[in-house]
Structures are given as structure tokens and as C-alpha cells.
Amino acid sequence: MSSIVAIVGRPNVGKSTFFNRLIQRREAIVDSVSGVTRDRHYGKTDWNGRNFSVIDTGGYVLGSDDVFEAEIDKQVELAIGEADAIIFMVDVETGVTPMDEDVAQLLRKVNKPVFLAVNKVDNSKRLENAVEFYALGLGEYFPIASTNGSGTGELLDALVEALPEDTREEEAELPRFAVVGRPNAGKSSFINALIGEDRYIVTDIAGTTRDSIDTKYNRFGFEFNLVDTAGIRRKSKVKEDLEFYSVMRSVRAIEHCDVCLIVMDATRGFDGQVQNIFWLAQRNRKGIVILVNKWDLFEKETNTMKEYEARIRQEMEPFTDVPIVFMSVLNKQRIFKAIETAVEVYNNRSKKIKTSELNEVLLPIIESYPPPAYKGKYVKIKFCMQLPTPQPQFAFFCNLPQYVKDPYKRFLENKLREKFDFTGVPVSVYFRKK
């Protein structure tokens, strides 16, 4: 269960540069969600063996200067509510500004670790100037230069030291299904429809965020936790950064679930924000089911559903093997189909295939369609196996792993899907030297 670290501060102090430095630190880092608008603001990284998610609140400020202040206050409040630790970034070139003082005032009341990072300190003169940031009343500060990385090591050492331990008990872990989606897509109604009439709910466990609730759900022989991100009502004054709010909440829910039920509004389509959430789930290697709600409101002709589905799949490329359920929560149409599908996806995600069976099925296919030769060299794949990870990952052992290109990896992934049914689950294919 990784912690969330938020980087806050006014615009142009270097938050994004620092953020980009963090998430590109190692090859193994899940890169920030691509193919999405605003894609640089959420990433995963690790330091000293601790994984954590980083959220850069920077790029979400919209509007003119006078709008800035209110916006930043809102983002800082949100970061305070959601993150486990906060990096407050200021700029030594401009010194302490009134806006910095506002943010500091909010942060002084917080019961969470706050790290004051004074950026752009790249010479000794500036190191002396940094002293004035003691005036913000946040105690020690960390002089850093996010362009060349000096000082960031000390900051990150202190940061991971302060992050809460990963404490989630490994009880007989029930599958966790997160219901995510943009506001007003029908998440709450979906959950109410599911648990409304039945009396099987055992407990309500307070979840990771203040009001994302885990509901134990037991019906038709399925037992799992439903993680509801819908309990979060947006504050009436928050219009502009709605996206930021729902993305931040979804990040939490997605990271800690097995299957994401992405509820979208049929009348709005598979728009930017839904895609955002989809890519987030895909990059986190979660099972995914798309629920197209309010289908009853949609004008229909003979092929409407087929065409609608084809449009969604086109937006999802290359990961199109995802179940799409058309439903109407209002009319209680196909809501249980949604849950059955989620259970199937969960089973697909935890599927383990015997090595002997895997080789028996795939080696003949590989022999008929070997990887294309590269610079006159032939890649020979001898053996494959499934790795012992929570989600499907496969290693293929060969003589020249560096010459296997993405199209061939996709070809093998598609064959795996076709032969073993991994619908709704991201599959990873790796090549290793034998």
C-alpha cells in the first residue's frame, strides 16, 4: 500500500521539474500516465526501497492571477486531506512572498509531516539567502536545486523516514472492487442499487481516505469489499479543478483495489477524465470493467451499442481487451451483470498457468511466427513461464532479448489473451536472457 506525497506551492517555483526528476529516477518506475491530458501530475517512484506516489499539484491552476490564490488554497487543502506527507516548495530567487505565507499558514495547522524545500539554491550566495524562509514558521528547510538534483537526496531521505509504515494487515484478504468515475456518473446510485435491498452487509470499514468507505458485500455467493469513492461530494465552490479532485481520490482507490469498476455516463461518452482514470488503472496493472451507465437515456438505433462500444475500444488502444457493460442503475438494468463481470475479471487477474501448459501452447506458435530478425540476427525463444506476481506477468527466455521489439510483445500478449482468457487484465510480457 503505497503512501501519497503531494508537492504544493505557488506556480513557477519548480514543482514540476522536481516531480519529473522524481518519477524518472529509475527505469522501474511506472511512468506517469501517458495519452492523457494533464499527464505529468501523477507518478510512482521509490527511494531507499520505499515506494510512494507523487502528486504534483502544480499544473492544475487555471485562470488569471487573481484566481490563483483561491485555487492554490484549495489545492493545498486537498493535499492536506489526502496525502501522507507534503513537500512545500518555495523559490530562493523571489524570497518569501505573500502567497507563500498563506500556504505556510495552512500547513502550520497540519498534523502531517511537512517538508519545506527551498528550490533553485545552486550557489553559496543563494544558500545564505535561503535563511529567510525560517520566517515561515515551518522549522528546518531543505535547500535544493531541482534542475541538477543537488540536495534532493537529503530531502527524500527525510521524507521516506517520515512516511507511515505499510500497515495493512494481511487478513484473509477479500477482493477489493473500487467504483471510480467522474462526478455524477452514477457511482453512488450504483452502489446503493447493489446493496439497497439486500441485508447481507456485514461491516462498514472506514477506508483509506476520510470518507471512501469499504462495504463488505455478499451476494450470489460472491464476497468482496466494495470501495466507494462516491461518498465524496465536491464542495460547491470547486468547479474548475473538479478533475484534480476526482483524480486524486481515484488514485487512492485504484492503488488499493484489485478490480476497478469505471462508471461512465453514456450521454457524456468516454471523455478525457474517464480516460485519465482508465490509464491510471491500466498503469497500476489493475483489473478493469467499464460500466456505461444511463444507457436508458441514450437515443438508440439498431447498431447503437456496437458502434458505441467500438468507439470506446478505439480510445483504449492498445489495451482493448476490457469488458464493457451497458447498464441503467435507475432501471436496475444489468447491475448484477456488472458485478459478475468484475468477479470474472478478478479471477482472470489471479489466474496462474502451469509452466508446462504455457510452453506446450505457446512454443509451437512462436516457432511458426518467430520474432523478426534484427540486423541479421535471429532471436530464439526457448522457454516461458508466469512470474509469481499478483497480476499476470510472463517471462520469455531467449538468446537476444534486446532485439525483441514492442509489436512482437503485443503479438505474444494477444496470443496469451486468446488462449488463456485474460479479459479485463493488463498482461506484462518480459524478455530475459536464458
Q: Which tens digit of pLDDT belongs to each residue from 125-141?
A: 888 888 889 988 888 89
- Flag whether 245 is marked binding: no
Of residues 350, 348, 349, 353, the one with CA closest to residue 386: 353
Provide the whole-model pTM.
Answer: 0.61
What is the C-alpha separation between 41 and 285, in angstroms, rounded?
19
- Flag whether 295 is marked binding: yes
- Flag whether 15 is marked binding: yes
- Flag whether 139 is marked binding: no
- In this prediction, residues 215-237 reach a mean pLDDT of 62
* Percent of the chain surpassing pLDDT 90: 12
Confidence band (pLDDT; 50, 70, 90) for 324?
Answer: very high
- Flag whether 184 is marked binding: yes
- Flag whether 352 is marked binding: no
Does the pLDDT of residue 40 top 50, yes or no? no
- Flag whether 12 is marked binding: yes
Gyration radius of the chain's alpha carbons: 24
What is the C-alpha separation between 214 and 219, in angstroms, rounded?
16
Q: Which tens digit of pLDDT belongs to each residue from 264-284?
A: 888 888 887 788 788 878 888
C-alpha cell at 320: 482493448
Greatest C-alpha distance within the chain: 73
Of residues 316, 335, 329, 301, the one with CA closest to residue 423: 316
Averaged pLDDT score across all residues of the chain: 77
Higher pLDDT, 59 or 165: 165
- Is the CB of residue 159 less than 8 Å from the CB of residue 47? yes
- Flag whether 72 is marked binding: no
Q: Count other C-beta atoms under 10 Å from residue 333's C-beta.
A: 16
- Flag whether 39 is marked binding: no
What is the C-alpha separation between 423 and 312, in angstroms, rounded?
16
C-alpha cell at 35: 495519452
Does the pLDDT of residue 211 top 80, yes or no? no
Confidence band (pLDDT; 50, 70, 90) for 66?
Answer: low
- In this prediction, residues 16-39 reach a mean pLDDT of 52
